[in-house]
Chain A
Amino acid sequence: MTEITYREGLNLGLRDAMEADADVIVLGEDVAAAGGAFKVTDGLLGAFGPQRVLDTPISEQAIIGAAIGAAVEGLRPVAEIMFADFAATCFDGIANELPKYRYMTGGQVSVPVVVRMANGAGGGFAAQHSQSVENWFLNVPGLKVAVPGTPADAYGLLRAAIEDPDPVLFFEHKGLYNSRGAADTLEAVPFGRAATVRQGSDLTIVASQLMRHRAIEAAEELSASGIEATVIDPRTIVPFDLEAVLSSLEATNRLVVAQECPAAGSWGASLVAQVTGAAFELLDAPPGLLSAKDTPVPYARNLELSWLPSVADIEAVCRATAAY
């Protein structure tokens, strides 16, 4: 079995996309000569040259705008916003321009931009470099949102994102860059298709990125005491594969969602609302929504550990939901 890291999956995804399509360009802070703050774009400058791999000033509004305009002209720009939290400095570009340009011009333009951003907590980066930023954009129709959790999904979702005719926000979890996984078959992963990564008949856990891995660990613990959980990784938040969750609930009748962000306005809260509305009769227990604490992300190790849902936290919510 061939194994690669999540970071390598992303780098390969970019390389293969750039080989396949001369219109793919990469732009962002430190992405060219330095190979990216997280080294995801390492080697691309040498391979594809400065016309296609562009270092920008520290100017997120300029980066997003350049990507939008270049996409309208026919390029396939992949913009890097180093830490996802910096999306706040170019919120207009991401929330008002990128997703609405097609709509408010009556379909005259396509804006196939991919915005790559490093997401998530757990690394001691504190309040302004650790958030799960996908939740900021759930209320903005016109965007697609990818949240890969494994090296193969990182590769496959990135290939699909770059080929997609619509704007895609592509969130990479910082805590997973060094994680390893199978890479025997690397291919585009279609959006809106969840991965069922573990089968069990007693309850369904839905989790992405770091929480997906913790959910699998929790499921193994539960299995030791006779509770078998299905674990579903949605892989894309928009579009969301609600069908995969509903069909799993037909067998399990119990839902737990684990996410590493405060609950208000989150994808998990939205999923619980949708499931409750669409399939109330399927549920034998109230859906369990496990979220991070309702505070900014703290710095100190013990505080951040307590902020993030742990394997034990997931296990506890699952036991309560199973016992209901």
Chain B
Amino acid sequence: MSRTGAQSPSVALPEKPLDLLRAMHEIRVFEDHVHRLFAQGMVRGSTHLCQGQEAVSVGACHALREDDSVTCTYRGHGAVLAKGASPDRAFAEILGRQGGLCNGKGGSMHLTDVAVGAMGSFAIVGAQLPIANGLALGARTRGRDRVSLCFFGDGTTNIGAFHEALNLASIWRLPVIFLCENNGYGEYTPLATTTPVEQLVDRADSYAMAKQQVDGNDVVAVFEVVSDAARRAREGAGPTFVEALTYRHKGHSRGDPAKYRPEGELESWLERDPIPAYERRLIAEGFSAQELEELTTKAREAVDDALERALSWPEPDAEALAEDVYA
């Protein structure tokens, strides 16, 4: 599959096709707000938007059970929301408010909601891969058939922890799905500058691991591939490396205008924006435009309301500073 103009495999829609669309809309609207809040000085530090990559987060998380684990990167708003975190508590976390997912202790880069299996957003490149192995090992040792899915970027495939983690997962046949979101850039640098292999999915061969490349802008294709990997993991067939080819519409972080991208590249990927692409598919499958429009409006209203609630919550109590260092 080439990076551009890839055709999706023709797979059937999942059982609840509109859930996927609503989830993608919610993430898109959520991050539109985050983008604006950052410009208004209401988001501290940095924030990393996943706009353009929503189909990966949503397709993958919707293929999992609620009790399966997801670990992700600092570009994790999409994954954590797709796994089921409530948008108001996610907003509150990014705004540094009490009642935020992490009580304002983590912020945009560390969104976590253990109750829904969003086990952590990790801000050190590669850190979450060895931890995802541990979640899988722990679940298996305690006799639970849970799967551990780990999101990471293309740049992560060049860091040592990636290789250690894949090797260990393979030798122990752990129920892990390593899901590489290949958006073509490691921070500000295009993949070809840093990476000798053309297809990242081929990295799996070094670890005798099952692999699957997928169009990351096709939510149904991602759902299919991850469903299959999860089934294999649960059956004891071991880990799978999934490479989802996608693109981030914005820069690396909120402060990055992404001037390093060649002219026309963004535009060509915007034509393959996963949300309208999925809407076209749904209409072709018989859903009405009006139905989809209503869903879009509802999703937007739900996220707008979530932001209103989060904005009404106070800053954390002063005592929170010293809490949660030790048990």
Contact = CB atoms under 8 A, between A and B. Distances in A.
Our verdict on whether A and B bind, yes or no, reads yes
Interface of A: 23, 25, 51-52, 54, 56-57, 59-75, 77, 92-93, 96-97, 101-110, 141-142, 144, 165-166
Contacts, number: 146
Contacts of B113: 108
Interface in B276-327: 323-327
Nearest to B166: A62
B218 to A, nearest CB: 30
B114 interface: yes
Given A68-B134, A69-B133, A108-B114, A62 B325 contact: no
A96 B324 CA distance: 15
Nearest to B165: A62
A62 B168 contact: yes
A72 B102 contact: no
B99 to A, nearest CB: 10
Contacts of B142: 23, 73-75
Contact of B327 (A63, A75, A93, A110): A110
Contacts of A52: 141
Contact of B103 (A51, A71, A106, A109): A106
B167 A70 contact: no
A3 B171 CA distance: 41
Contacts of A166: 326-327
Contact of A65 (B114, B134, B139): B134
Interface string B110-153: 10111000011010100101111111111101100000100000
A70 B114 contact: no
B106 A106 contact: yes
Nearest to A52: B141
Contacts of A74: 138, 142
Given A68-B131, A69-B134, A105 B325 contact: no
Given A105-B114, A106-B100, A71 B124 contact: no
Contacts of B161: 61-62, 65, 92
Contact of B106 (A25, A75, A105): A105
Given A56-B168, A141-B325, 17 more contacts: A51-B141, A60-B164, A62-B130, A64-B130, A65-B130, A69-B134, A70-B141, A72-B119, A72-B131, A73-B135, A73-B139, A102-B325, A104-B105, A104-B110, A106-B100, A106-B101, A107-B324
Contacts of A63: 130
A71 B326 contact: no
A102 B132 contact: no
Closest 9 CB pairs of A and B: A69-B134, A65-B130, A73-B138, A106-B103, A106-B102, A165-B327, A70-B138, A62-B164, A59-B164
B17 interface: no
Contacts of B132: 65, 69
Interface of B: 100-106, 110, 112-114, 119-120, 122, 124, 127, 129-139, 141-142, 148, 160-161, 164-165, 167-168, 171-172, 323-327
A304 B106 CA distance: 45
A63 B172 CA distance: 12
B101 A66 contact: no
Contact of B102 (A59, A66, A104): A104
Nearest to B168: A62
B105 A92 contact: no
A282 to B, nearest CB: 28
B69 to A, nearest CB: 8
B141 A102 contact: no
B120 A93 contact: no
A59 B122 contact: no
A106 B138 contact: no
A242 to B, nearest CB: 17
A109 B127 contact: no
A108 B103 CA distance: 10
A80 B55 CA distance: 40
B114 A67 contact: no
Contacts of B119: 72, 109
Nearest to A27: B137
A97 B124 contact: yes
Contact of A75 (B122, B138, B324, B326): B138
Given A102-B325, A103-B324, A65 B103 contact: no
Contacts of B133: 62, 65-66, 69
Nearest to A105: B112
22 contacts: A51-B141, A60-B164, A61-B161, A62-B167, A63-B130, A65-B133, A65-B164, A69-B132, A71-B134, A72-B134, A73-B137, A93-B127, A97-B122, A102-B324, A102-B326, A103-B105, A103-B324, A105-B106, A106-B112, A106-B324, A107-B103, A109-B120
A105 B105 contact: yes
A93 B130 contact: yes
B176 to A, nearest CB: 10
B309 to A, nearest CB: 18
Contacts of B129: 65
B103 A59 contact: no
Nearest to A141: B325
A25 B137 CA distance: 11
